[in-house]
Copies of this chain bind each other. A is one copy, B any other.
């Protein structure tokens, strides 16, 4: 149906007879001629219909409209002088058409395909996703994502990881996020769960002796969505035996250096920085700091405590901390701009944002007077305040203060253009706590998952002080996003049982939920470890977009709906009857389009 694709023909092809096919991208009538830009995934090629050369082609060409699909035959010729288009790979040639076949007509699309900038609500773009992809930018992302997948697979195979498919229809487990459930027809009242990750299967593969496993695995979580989350996502999942975190980290660094330098035009070097979980929170208020810029957090509780600033002093007495950050050259911020940041932190329930400016060698602001000269000097030293700098300080319970300062730090960096484009700041976060206390569940839960190995130095106080136990776990963070996380796994049945005890899984529950796994551990389990990366997020960063939806062919909305197919949907009563299911409630929903 075509001899060439539409990005292929060059000056060297002049004189050839060719057959091309594609979409009518643009049409211009000029001097009795009709010009068509013909488009496919590979490029654009200009076609000319000239009544002198072929009336048979010219006459039907009059009817052509945007997005019709056509096939043309003709001769490649050089464009006239001054008519070449240096922006196009095919910009030096055009096709003089001798035959036109209309393959498919097209209604006028709901938004323009050819215009680069259009103002269309995202819901409409999602409903007509196939047209949105046709516009080009999502298509480009999908091609880059494919490239990344190819590189990853090539790398994994080179390092003897075996691609093994694990089941989608698995068993629901109580740990972790909410499962998507699938009712069983053959065993009514029983359910499969779709995998949140192939965690247990990959550990079982290590027990089975497969040594190195990987999979680009579809995973699903029934959680409320954020802009960088989707109910289904794609994970690079891997596991290896007889190895250690250093080997795994160095392998993964090689992979990511390769990926980002080849595909995102980055200049990343290994080894990547490493920082403990503890240090991350101290310096950045988060376990996934964006290291593309500075503005580290500074703790000044000790100074504030002895000041005359009673608002701070009172709160410190009831357990609050004072932390802040320095905005270089920030004294230029107007009162109004500072107020904007004050209301920004207000969203997080924090009333005050204290600030001081350094002007003509001295700190100024309404609160400076509450700090002695000595205290001001210490502040200046601690923050390393220079002329024209500004500092912000927050006094609040530590956890909340960190959350707010993390957000504030990123907002200021964004507002002040501190973030270099094409900069990729990788960071390994280590020494995660094994457990945390869940207010919601009123018990200790696992920070990563219950299969991570507790740090050998901390095993002795696991039962008494579980919140102090670190795990042998590591997260990879890039530009403020968590790309993935992994750990050395427990390969000892006894330790695994102790972890379940700390999680207050009763013996019966542990047996019911994980009995098969505990038994598997008892038949000769090699030391093993692994990691999993969110590939949609990796692709998002490679493509330089902020939206996970931009790198997924058919994404869902934040309400987990597919606006194109209108899924989820009602199903036939017979389908539910076969599953022995009744609904206690049914809520109709209609895709709302602006």
Contact A584 B582 (CB under 8 A): yes
Contact B165 A553 (CB under 8 A): yes
Asked whether A18 is an interface residue with its Cβ less than 8 Å from the other chain, the reply is no
Contact B41 A526 (CB under 8 A): no
Contact B181 A575 (CB under 8 A): yes
The stretch of A102-110, A352-360, A452-460 in contact with B is: A102-110
Contact B1 A527 (CB under 8 A): yes
Contact B516 A565 (CB under 8 A): yes
Contact B42 A525 (CB under 8 A): no
Asked whether A68 is an interface residue with its Cβ less than 8 Å from the other chain, the reply is yes
Asked whether A447 is an interface residue with its Cβ less than 8 Å from the other chain, the reply is no
Closest B residue, CB atoms, query A217? B218
Asked whether A118 is an interface residue with its Cβ less than 8 Å from the other chain, the reply is no
Contact B167 A178 (CB under 8 A): no
The stretch of A49-57, A78-86, A585-593 in contact with B is: A585-593
Chain B residues closer than 8 Å to A405, beta-carbon distance: none
Contact A583 B188 (CB under 8 A): yes
A341 CB to nearest chain B CB (Å): 34
Asked whether A139 is an interface residue with its Cβ less than 8 Å from the other chain, the reply is yes
The answer, among B23, B170, B193, B570, for a CB contact under 8 Å with A189, is B570
Chain B residues closer than 8 Å to A565, beta-carbon distance: 170-171, 200, 516
Asked whether A146 is an interface residue with its Cβ less than 8 Å from the other chain, the reply is yes
Chain B residues closer than 8 Å to A142, beta-carbon distance: 162, 164, 210
Contact A209 B566 (CB under 8 A): no
The stretch of A9-17, A149-157, A285-293, A466-474 in contact with B is: A149-157
Contact B522 A106 (CB under 8 A): yes
Docked complex Cα distance between A280 and B587 (Å): 50
Contact B146 A150 (CB under 8 A): no
Asked whether A344 is an interface residue with its Cβ less than 8 Å from the other chain, the reply is no
Asked whether A187 is an interface residue with its Cβ less than 8 Å from the other chain, the reply is yes
Contact B133 A208 (CB under 8 A): yes
Contact B586 A188 (CB under 8 A): yes
Contact A568 B131 (CB under 8 A): no
Docked complex Cα distance between A425 and B281 (Å): 64
Q: How many copies does the complex hold?
A: 2
Contact A552 B165 (CB under 8 A): yes
Chain A count of residues within 8 A CB distance of the other chain: 123
Asked whether A264 is an interface residue with its Cβ less than 8 Å from the other chain, the reply is no
Docked complex Cα distance between A129 and B133 (Å): 43
Asked whether A554 is an interface residue with its Cβ less than 8 Å from the other chain, the reply is yes
Docked complex Cα distance between A207 and B109 (Å): 12
Asked whether A194 is an interface residue with its Cβ less than 8 Å from the other chain, the reply is yes
Chain B residues closer than 8 Å to A174, beta-carbon distance: 572
Contact A222 B185 (CB under 8 A): yes
The answer, among B41, B182, B523, B556, for a CB contact under 8 Å with A194, is B182
Chain B residues closer than 8 Å to A27, beta-carbon distance: none
Chain B residues closer than 8 Å to A183, beta-carbon distance: 181, 183, 581
Contact B163 A146 (CB under 8 A): yes
The A80-115 residues at the B interface (CB cut-off 8 A) are 103-107, 109
Asked whether A130 is an interface residue with its Cβ less than 8 Å from the other chain, the reply is yes
Most buried by B among A39, A200, A589: A589
Closest B residue, CB atoms, query A189? B586
Chain B residues closer than 8 Å to A67, beta-carbon distance: 523-524
Chain B residues closer than 8 Å to A218, beta-carbon distance: 165, 168, 218
Docked complex Cα distance between A201 and B207 (Å): 38
Docked complex Cα distance between A516 and B110 (Å): 14
The answer, among B109, B211, B524, B582, for a CB contact under 8 Å with A523, is B109
Docked complex Cα distance between A205 and B232 (Å): 19
Docked complex Cα distance between A5 and B171 (Å): 34
The A477-528 residues at the B interface (CB cut-off 8 A) are 491-492, 516, 520, 522-527
A64 CB to nearest chain B CB (Å): 11
Contact B167 A232 (CB under 8 A): yes
Most buried by B among A39, A178, A523, A527: A523
Asked whether A243 is an interface residue with its Cβ less than 8 Å from the other chain, the reply is yes
Contact B582 A139 (CB under 8 A): no
- Digitize A243-281: 1 where CB-to-B-CB distance is under 8 Å, 0 elsewhere: 110000000000000000000000000000000000000
A454 CB to nearest chain B CB (Å): 17
Contact A587 B516 (CB under 8 A): no
Closest B residue, CB atoms, query A108? B523
14 contacts between A and B (CB under 8 A): A41-B209, A42-B211, A69-B525, A104-B524, A107-B523, A130-B208, A146-B162, A146-B164, A153-B153, A170-B565, A171-B565, A189-B570, A190-B586, A580-B585
Q: Which residues of A contact B (CB under 8 A)?
A: 1-2, 5, 21-23, 39-42, 67-69, 71, 103-107, 109, 127-134, 139, 142-143, 146, 149-150, 153, 157, 162-172, 174, 178-194, 200-201, 204-205, 207-211, 218, 220, 222, 231-232, 234, 242-244, 491-492, 516, 520, 522-527, 552-554, 556, 559-562, 564-572, 575, 578-589
Ordered nearest first, which 5 A-B pairs have the shortest CB separation? A189-B586, A106-B524, A133-B208, A190-B568, A171-B567
